[in-house]
Amino acid sequence: MLTQEMLDSIKKVEASRPQRIGADLRRMTAEEKQELLKKFHPDYREDGFVYLAVGPNKGEKVPTELGQLLHGKSRVLGKDVDLDDIFYDTDVLIIGGGGAGASAAIEADNKGARVTIVTKLRMGDANTMMAEGGIQAADKPNDSPAIHYLDALGGGHFTNKPELLKKLVTEAPDCIKWLNEMGVMFDKEADGTMVTTHGGGTSRKRMHACADYSGAEIMRVLRDEVINRGIEIVDFTSAIELILDDKGAAAGAVLMNMETGEIRIARAKTIVIATGGAGRLHYQGFPTSNHYGATADGLILGYRAGANLLYQDAIQYHPTGVAYPAQMFGALVTEKVRSLGAQLINVDGEAFMNPLETRDVTVASIIRECKQNGKGVPTPLGSAIWLDTPMIEIINGAGTIEKKLPGMLRMYEKFGIDMRTTPILIYPTLHYQNGGLEISANGMTTVENLFVAGEAVGGVHGRNRLMGNSLLDIIVFGRNAGKNAGDKCKSVTVGKLNLDHVAKYADELEKAGAANDMESPMLLPKYTHGSQINKFN
C-alpha cells in the first residue's frame, strides 16, 4: 500500500527515533508564532474570503463559501407557506440534535417546559459523536478555573468573550459530574481519580476522556436520556427559516421533511439554535473531519433573522487529518495521539516542531514544512507529514494504542496499516468554526427569545479553540441555553407569526447587487468523486 518513497522516508523516521524519545523540543516564542501564522495559516489568505453586503455584520469578512450562502436565496420566498397552519406548538424548539441540543433539551425539560427537538438527520448525528480526544475541566488539585481561563484565553489569542469564557471554565467540573452521574464512562484510575492528559496549549493535564470514543460515549448517553424523558424528537426534518412574531421576537420555524419535502410550521415561545459547524462547506478546498450535516444552517437562519455573527472569519483547521490512504482523506486523527507522545516528523526524519503547540500554530507549521521547506512526504493527493505513532508504545508501554486509541487503531487496520509499528501520514483538515452567532452569558442573541448553543456560537473560544474545550462548550452552553430558554418561555406570549424579515433581507441583497441563486441553507453537501454523469436533479 505504501509507496517506495514513503517506505524510504519511514527508514529515516525509524533511524532518528531513539534520539528523539525524551528530547525536549523547543516551543516557539510569541513573536515566532505570530510571524508563522501570518505567513501560513489559511485564515490569513485574502482570496479565501468575501465581505458581507448586508445584515448586522455588513462590511465584515466571511469565508467565501459561507458568504455565498449568506448572499443566497431563501428556500421559502415565493413558496406557499401558511403560517396559520401550525403543526408543532411547543414551548422550547431546539434546532439540532447533537450534544448541545440534547443538553439543552434535558435542562429545559427539567424546567418543566414542553420541548421539541428538530434534526435534519438522526438524533445524535453530529460532530459531537466524532470528538475523540476529550473534554477539559479543571478538577485536579494542581489546577483551577483561573488556570483553565488563562490557557483558553491565550490559545484564543486573547479574543475570547470574557463573560462566556468565565462561564465555560467555572461550570466545567459540574458538567463532568453531570455527565458522570448520567452514566458516562470516563477513564478513571482504580481509586476513582480521573485519567487526564495534556492537549495542545494546556498548562495542566485536564483532558478527560472515554478512550478515543469520548464524544460518542457522551452523545449516546445524552441521546438515551432524551429518549427516556419522552422529549419529542422530529428527525429527518430541517429548519429552513426562522419565524418571528409581530414584536420581532423569535417565535417558530419553517420545517421541511428531508425525504418528502413536506413543509410544516412549528410555533415556539423560545428557540435554541444548536446546528453545529460548517466543515462540509469545504472552505478553501480543504477536506474536513466534520459530520455530513455540518453546513452552517443555523448561522444562515439566525443572521437573516437579525442576530449578529462574531469571529465568523476564524476557522480551525485540525493539524492532523488523514492524508493517506485516500479513502480516509480528511478524517480526524485525534490530538490525543500527540498528547501521548507522538511527534511530527518530516520526510528526512526530523522533528521540526514541538507537537504540543496550539492547533493554529501547528497547522501553519505543517503547511510551512510542506509548502515552503519542501520537506513533506509526497502522497497521491499532495504532500504530508509523519505522525510518529510507534513512539506511543515505546514511551507508554506496549498495548497503549489498543487501550487508549481503539477506534483509530481499527480505522487504520481496515486499510491495512498498523499504526503501532508504522507512523501515519497527516495534513491539516477543516475541523471547527471558532466563530458563529454572538450570545450573552444567558445564551440569548440580540433577537429576543433566540438562543444559541454549541459550535454555532461565536466568542467562547475567541479566534482559536483548544482541544477539549468544544465537548465542554456544548455541555456548558447547551445546559445554559436549555435552562434559560426553559425559564423564559414561561413569561412569553407569542404574537402574530410572520416571515417579513426574510423578504426584507432578500430586498437588501438585491439592492446591494449581492444576491445569488444558491439555495440556502445548504442542508447537505453534494459529492460526485469525479464522476461525470449527466443528471437532471
Partner 1 sequence: MEDMVNIYLMGKQYSVPASLTIMNAMEYAGYQHKRGCGCRAGFCGACATIYRIKGQNELKFCLACQTKVEDNMYIASLPFFPGVKKVYDIYEIKPTEDIMMQIYPEIYSCIGCNACTKACPQGLNVMQYIAYAQRGDYAACAEESFDCIACNMCSSRCPAQITHPMVSLLARRLYGKYIAPETEHLATRVKEIEDGVFTEAVEELAAKPLDQIKELYNHRDIEK
Q: Which residues are known to be catalytic?
A: 318, 338
Binders of partner 1 among 458-517, rule CB under 8 A? none
Based on the shown chain and the rule CB under 8 A, indicate whether residue 150 belongs to the binding site for partner 1: yes
Region of 93-101, 103-111, 220-228, 448-456 interacting with partner 1 (CB under 8 A): 220-228
Among 228, 285, 493, 513, binds partner 1 (CB under 8 A): 228
Query: What does residue 377 show for φ and ψ, rounded to 5 degrees?
Result: -95, 125
Based on the shown chain and the rule CB under 8 A, indicate whether residue 26 belongs to the binding site for partner 1: no
For the window 258-297, what string marks contact with partner 1 as x by the rule CB under 8 A? xx-----------------------------x-xx-----
Binders of partner 1 among 424-443, rule CB under 8 A? none
Among 213, 283, 317, 352, binds partner 1 (CB under 8 A): 213
- Nearest Cα residue to 120 out of 265, 292, 337: 292
Nearer to partner 1 (CB atom), residue 158 or residue 513: 158
Among 40, 49, 149, 427, binds partner 1 (CB under 8 A): 149
The size of the interface with partner 1 (CB under 8 A), counted in residues, is 87
Q: CA dihedral in degrees (130, 133, 135, 139; nearest 10)?
A: 160
Burial class (CB in 10 A: 0-12, 13-18, 19+), 43: buried
For the window 98-137, what string marks contact with partner 1 as x by the rule CB under 8 A? -----------------------xx-xx---xx-------
Based on the shown chain and the rule CB under 8 A, indicate whether residue 68 belongs to the binding site for partner 1: no
Among 22, 47, 158, 493, binds partner 1 (CB under 8 A): 158
Nearer to partner 1 (CB atom), residue 228 or residue 491: 228
Contacts of 52 (CB under 8 A, 6+ apart): 58, 59, 60, 61, 62, 67, 70, 71
Q: Least Å distance between CB 524 and partner 1?
A: 7
Among 18, 22, 59, 141, binds partner 1 (CB under 8 A): 141
Based on the shown chain and the rule CB under 8 A, indicate whether residue 205 belongs to the binding site for partner 1: yes
117: region left, alpha or beta (phi > 0 left; psi from -120 to 50 alpha): beta
Among 64, 68, 170, 440, binds partner 1 (CB under 8 A): 170
Based on the shown chain and the rule CB under 8 A, indicate whether residue 146 belongs to the binding site for partner 1: yes
Nearer to partner 1 (CB atom), residue 117 or residue 305: 117
Asked if 131 contacts 215 with a C-beta cutoff of 8 angstroms, the reply is: yes
Burial class (CB in 10 A: 0-12, 13-18, 19+), 84: exposed
| Angle (CA) 106 112 118, round 5° | 50
Rg over CA atoms, the chain: 23
Based on the shown chain and the rule CB under 8 A, indicate whether residue 22 belongs to the binding site for partner 1: no
Binders of partner 1 among 400-429, rule CB under 8 A? 406-407, 410-411, 414
Q: Least Å distance between CB 399 and partner 1?
A: 15
- Nearest Cα residue to 111 out of 486, 492, 490: 486
Query: Residues of 245-255 as b/e, b for ≥16 C-beta within 10 angstroms?
Result: beebbbbbbbb
Burial class (CB in 10 A: 0-12, 13-18, 19+), 521: buried
Nearer to partner 1 (CB atom), residue 144 or residue 498: 144
3-state secondary structure 398-410: CCHHHHHCHHHHH
Residue 466 CB neighbours (<10 A): 25
Binders of partner 1 among 309-348, rule CB under 8 A? 326-328, 331-332
